[in-house]
Each structure stands twice: as structure tokens, then as C-alpha cells.
Structure 1
């Protein structure tokens, strides 16, 4: 009898230990993956390309959506109130990190994070000027990422090469877009330094483009469209007006050339997003944001639109064609 009781005690002890091990193993195997919130201001090709790049950059460092990370992608569709609601949603679900595509999205995320949750900037123009960081080298607090600085002087050189007869340049931007205003006014300063006449035009939203474009096209010889979300979204409207007046548009981004611009030297938006994703992966692995320098891409690739040149009666110089064929993009 005593032997039977002893054997039973040993059996129950072993069973308890095995059950404990099983529970521990199950707990380990169901470890929660981190959530990354991606907030995009609106839909248009340049911002969409940045989004795809962010996902690719994270994946390259082992953060695969649905497996090792949960990516919560939200698009505000240009509605400022959506930005606030979506940013707060990320905080409510305890996102490990958030990514802002376009300045208003980044600003909304920064406000919601309250200097706590890391915020990655995805190709934000002039992040220090918009109050997001202290400086490119030492961002401070919880924000870092990438900035796509347009090669503005190269854009002016290209414009003068393609439209040598241009005497007055129209520069258009959206009043609510900090990056667009920054680029437009900086381009205007370069024009002044180079002895080129210019006129600044503004839209408050895409609904203004038709009327403003008609006024501008009647008073300028060429148009510069900076990296500006509002202008990019209304690019087809702008071009439909300027084409009738035979006024070429030199935009800042390759996707704007595809939408009807003549040519540009464009920072690759996908690569900008990919670099952001790679930096985000490092932050997820523990790298501090406060002294993680902003990475700036300024080198552009030649992008031309042959169909647009034909409509305007413009012939691309051999040097421009050669560069576009060698390492750029040609839209036919």
C-alpha cells in the first residue's frame, strides 16, 4: 500500500512538471508581434511609392507583415480630422512605432505620441522648419527618419535648358503644405539669385487649381511645380490648362512627370520610403531616435515625358535624352 501511494505521488509530480513545461512553451510560441502604424495623408503616386518602400525596408530587416510584425496602414484621404483620429488609434493599440507619410501626417503622429512612441518621418521636407525635430543631426526626443530635399538648382538649370526662351517662371504651391511652400519659396530665391523673373501663385486646395492655373498660364512662359501634395494631386488639371497655352510644366517628382509634366530630376520616392523602413527596423531593434540623424536624399534621376514634349513642340537636348536613357526614366 505504501509503495502504491509513493508511486502515485511520483507520477503526479512528473505530470505537474510536464504540464508546466507545456504551458511555458505555449506562452513563448504565442508571443505578441509589434505593431507598426503607417499614416498617409492621401492617395497619389508619390506617397503610394513611399508607402511601398517603407514596407519593403521593414521586410528586408526581417519585419514581415502578418508574421513578425503587424502593419496597420491608414490613409486619411486628405481629411485633416482623419489624421487626428487615426493617430490616436495607433496610440490606443499600443503601436511600437509609427510612420508619417507627408508632413501633416507626421505632425499628427508627433502630437498623438506626446514624445513617447517613436515616430518615423518618411521623406518629409524641412522637418526642423515644420517643428518636428530640433536638427537633422540630433533630432531629439522620439522622432527621426528621412527627408527628400529636392535638387532645386538642378531643376532651374533643367528648365532653362528645355525652355531657353522663358523670361518669367510661374511657381505654384499649396498654402497649407509646409513642404510645398518651403520648396516654392526656396526655388524663388534661387531664381532671383540667377537673375530669372518669377511669379508666385497659391492654391488653398485642389479645387482652386483650374482658376489659378488659367491666370498663371496667361502670365508666364513656364511653370515650376514643387514637391507639394496639393499640386501633385491636381497635376492633371494644371497640365490640361497649361497645355492649351503651350506653357511647359517642370515638376519636382517623377510621378508628376508621368501625370503630364515635361521633365525633372527626381528623388526616387520608393527608395526614400525603403530607407525609412530600414531605419524603422533599427528603432524596433532598440536604436534610440533622439540621436539617430535624419537621412537626406538629394540626388535625382532624369525623368522625361516624350508625349508631353511633342504636344508642346519641344525637342529634348541630346544630353538630356542620353541621361534619361542611361539611368533615368522615359515616359512615352
Structure 2
């Protein structure tokens, strides 16, 4: 009888340990969310990520504990955040934006902690994945790759006489370097020349914007975290010269970009959260999941900006828009 009881106790302990390791829905899990910079699109990623987890049964305050930190666009801080999550032995790290994902990958690669990234433009160039989208370790997630050709096609419709497009980017963000290369390769097809200006820090942006605005007919914005964090500065300078600025996603259009063909970062976050849930449930390992690219790209326009610039947005774009804005949101 005692032997049977002992066996029962051992089995119960083993099952409990396995349940804890597999991240079952009915057991609490702890995740670390590291965000590289503070701006609306990345904030939407985080909110969407938590919503995606909630849809799959992981709800903060119930069976999910979240440790969140923001690197404020500083690479050294991003590395510290990632190392802190590893030292806390979280069950999973969510890394928002390319520099944060690279830091998390470096910190966790010799551990068993899975990393799920989001808002990474080119996971292959960032050395987080292989060319076939398979992971370079226990890491996977979602890409916010820009629909470059659709954006160029839209700009040509809105500005039929434009010849030059300016792009500001941070030389330290490889996601931006990748996007610049793609823009330059495609621009000629639509009759454009790309004039790019690289900056090292946010402090360089005012002067760089002034210089760029003297050379171009319009500016198109990337998902560059350093530049997006200072986007209001660029918008104010461009508005004073009546030069249109195009965004890369909906939040940029809300605060003063004329238009964009881009994705919804909240939806991207939801998609990422559902991938993370599969890992937490033990259904898949991050190392077994290819990274995903959100397929939907929609048109967003701001009629208040158009009126200020004396531009009429083409009716076919307006009628197909996912959302149009009639005012400029304060930032």
C-alpha cells in the first residue's frame, strides 16, 4: 500500500513539473516584453501582442505576468533589458523592433528561453532567420516588411509630376538600410529618384531634415524607430515648405503624414501574440516556426493635410481606403 502511495506521489510531482515546463494555459507564465522605442506603432504592437495572447487564453493579471521595459531608442539599454529578462528566467521574451530583437537573441541564445519578435523589417538581414524564413535558433516572430512598390505607385498617383523622394534613416538600424536598398531598386520603375540622408542620432534630425527638404519634391517615411520618434519635427518643417510627407503606417498618417500604404501594427501584434501562445502551450517550439509576414496593406489618407498642401487625393484611393482622417492628431 505504501509503495502504491509513493508511486502516486512521484507521478503527481512529475506531471506537475511537466505542466509547468510546457506553459499550460491553467498555469501562470511570466513573459518579458522589450520595446526598442516609444512611438505609436510600436505601442500598438505591444497592445496587439497582449490581445493575441488573451484570445488564446493568456490574460494579464490572471495566468499571465508581464515584465515590460522600453529602451528609448538606445541600443545599450536594449541589451540591458534583454539581459535582465534572462536573469529573471522569464518563460518567453517578446522583442519589439529590430534592435530589441537582436539584443534579445544575443542574450537568450544560450538559454532555453524562446524569443518572439515583431516589427522586424528584415529578419534575414538581422541574422534572426535564414533565407527560407526558418529560425536561426529558438527565435521567431513577425515581419513588418514595407510594401515598397505599392507605396511608390500610390505616391505617383498623388503626385504625378514629382521626380525626387527623400528618405531620412538611421544608419544604425539595419531594417532601414534594407528598406532604402529596396526603394532605390524599385524607384526607377515609377519615374522617381531616391535621395537618402542617414543620421546617427535623433539630435541629427532637424539639420538633416532641413537639408533634405531643399532637394526633394516629397518625403516618404520608413518604420525607422529613431526617425519615427522625431517625426513631428520633420512634419513641421515639411509643412512650412508645403512639401508632402508620406507615412508607412496608419499612426503616421494620423499625426500629419499625407497618406500611406501600410499595415496595421495592432493586427501585427495580435498575429505575434498568437504565435507566442503556441510556444507557451507547448504546441510548437520557436525554433520550429518560420517567421511570418503580414499580408494586408491598406491605404490611409489625411484630408486635413491634403487641404493644407493644396492637394486633392485621387478618388480611387479615397474610395478604397481602410481609413481616412479629417484632422491632424496632436502629438
Aligned positions, number:
309
Between 283-292 and 147-156, report the one with greater CA deviation: 283-292
- TM-score by length of structure 2 reads 0.88
2:60 alignment partner, SS class: coil
Q: Is the 8 A contact 1:122 1:146 kept in 2?
A: yes
Q: Is the 8 A contact 2:36 2:99 kept in 1?
A: yes
2:286 alignment partner, SS class: coil
Residue aligning to 1:294 = 291
Q: Deviations over 1:165-218 (max 9, x none)?
A: 111111221111111221122112111343422211112122111111111111
Between 193-202 and 111-120, report the one with greater CA deviation: 193-202
Tell me the CA shift for residue 101 of structure 1: 0.3
| Mapped partners of 2:161, 2:54: distance in 1 | 48
Tell me the CA shift for residue 224 of structure 1: 1.3
Residue aligning to 1:17 = none
Residue aligning to 1:181 = 177
2:288 alignment partner, SS class: coil
| Mapped partners of 2:127, 2:136: distance in 1 | 11
Gaps of 5+ in 2: 3-8, 21-25
| Mapped partners of 2:133, 2:177: distance in 1 | 23
**Aligned match for 1:61, one of 35, 56, 62:** 56
The verdict on how the C-alpha distance between 1:98 and 1:40 changes in structure 2, with shifts beyond 3 A counting, is same
Residue aligning to 2:325 = 330
Residue aligning to 1:10 = none
Where has structure 1 moved over 4 Å in runs of 4 or more? none
Residue aligning to 1:319 = 316
- TM-score by length of structure 1 reads 0.87
Rg comparison, structure with higher value: 1
Residue aligning to 2:302 = 305
Tell me the CA shift for residue 107 of structure 1: 0.7
Tell me the CA shift for residue 32 of structure 1: 6.3
1:223 alignment partner, SS class: strand
Matched, 1:253 2:260: no
| Mapped partners of 1:314, 1:60: distance in 2 | 42
**Aligned match for 1:122, one of 118, 122, 126:** 118
Residue aligning to 1:172 = 168
Tell me the CA shift for residue 331 of structure 1: 4.2
| Mapped partners of 1:257, 1:184: distance in 2 | 20
Residue aligning to 1:238 = 234
Tell me the CA shift for residue 60 of structure 1: 0.7
**Aligned match for 2:198, one of 190, 197, 202:** 202
| Mapped partners of 1:32, 1:317: distance in 2 | 53
Residue aligning to 2:6 = none
Residue aligning to 1:96 = 91
The within-5 A match list for 1:259-270 is 259-270=255-266
Residue aligning to 2:153 = 157
Gaps of 5+ in 1: 1-12, 14-19
